[in-house]
Structures are given as structure tokens and as C-alpha cells.
Structure 1
């Protein structure tokens, strides 16, 4: 969560993707927009930063996904090693994919309320 580690991450990303432009979508964390990071990016023109606008946290869908994934795979678990973490990750991903549904924006319409008693008046 500091500029040095973030720049190291970007180096690894650049090495893993040797061809073409790399677009990195980030939030406004200080390490993503620090002077040292901006200077580092000038020397690496293939990497292009795209920032989520301030006050538009709803655009960062990663946070919601990560919360769901953490709850499904990691919450309350104790792992003896990386193999167990990998297994838990694969299992949780398979379970989440099995019950995945398309995302619907907005509040769903409330169900229609059925009246318990209906009165019929005859004249």
C-alpha cells in the first residue's frame, strides 16, 4: 500500500504482458497518484492509468466482489499453506459461479400485496 510496492506491481504487470498497451483502472489511493509513481509512469509509456472519479465508488465493483469472495472463501478459515488457500479459492469460485445471476441495477419492485380479506357489498 505504498508507492514502491505499487511500482513493483506495475513492473510485474508489464513483464507479464510484453505486447501492447496496458490500461490500469485504479481508485484514488495516494500510492497510485504519488509523484514517484507519476514519474515512474513517464518512463513506462505502455502503462496508462485510468482513475475512478472521486465520489464514484459505485464504479469500483471490485470492492463488492472482493467482499463477497472473502466471505465465501476466506472468512473464519485457517490455512496451513498456499495449497489450502488455492483449494479454498477454487471451491469458492466454483460455488459463486454456480449461483451467478445477471446484475440488475436499481431497487427491485416490491411484490404485489394480496389483501387477506375482500369484502363484497351487494345493494
Structure 2
């Protein structure tokens, strides 16, 4: 089994490496530092936290499971392809033309 993580220092700490040595079936791979666009889960977690967990106090695991199921179904109902970064600025069709009168 492979675990893919970003280059956060806690993912490469001594305790993490020790745990991975004790579990030889699990291999660890890092997303390259210059390829943050590969880490799409960060954007998904931001949207999920905002939809499921923001402003709520969850008392027990059943509340968490319910909020998770509800947010997941709502997010899936309006799912669109993920586009990383800002959208391109719209191009102007007409340019202003200045006319100088003499």
C-alpha cells in the first residue's frame, strides 16, 4: 500500500519514519515540492470543511457521520471538474477607440 503526502515536515518526522519502518507493507511517497497542483485533496478538504463542519458543534460520531454524508451528497449533486487556480480574465471583445477631433 502506498501513502502519498505533501512535503509537510510532520510527514517526514522521526516518529513517522519509525512507524513506517515498523510497517513494511506501507510505502511513503511525497508529492514533489514544485508540483503543488498534484495535491488536489487540499482544495477538496477546504470545500468539505466549509460545507460539512463550519459553524457546527458535533457531539458524537453519529453527528459527524451524518454531516459527512449530507455534505458529500450535496457536493456530488453539483460536482464540476476541478480547475486549479484563478480563472482566466475575460477578454474584451470591443476595444475603446479614441477619436481626436481637430
TM-score, shorter chain, exceeding 0.5: yes
Aligned length: 94
**Structure 2: how far apart are the matches of 1:70 and 1:76?**
10
RMSD of Structure 2 on Structure 1 (CA): 2.5
- Which residue does 2:39 correspond to in 1? 60
Q: Distance in 2 between matches of 1:42 and 1:84?
A: 36
Q: Which residue of 1 aligns with 2:69?
A: 90
Aligned to 2:14: 35
1:43-65 CA deviation, whole Å, 9 max, x = no partner? 43321111011243222111100
Shift of 1:23: 0.6
Match of 2:78 among 82, 90, 99: 99
- What SS class does the counterpart of residue 28 from structure 2 fall into? strand
* Cα drift, residue 33 of structure 1: 1.5
Q: Residues of 1 paired with 2:71 and 2:64: CA distance?
A: 10
Unaligned runs of 5+ in 1: 1-21, 116-123
2: distance between equivalents of 1:83 and 1:37?
30
Runs of 4+ in 1 over 6 A off after TM superposition: none
* Match of residue 59 from structure 2: 80
Offset at 1:39? 4.0
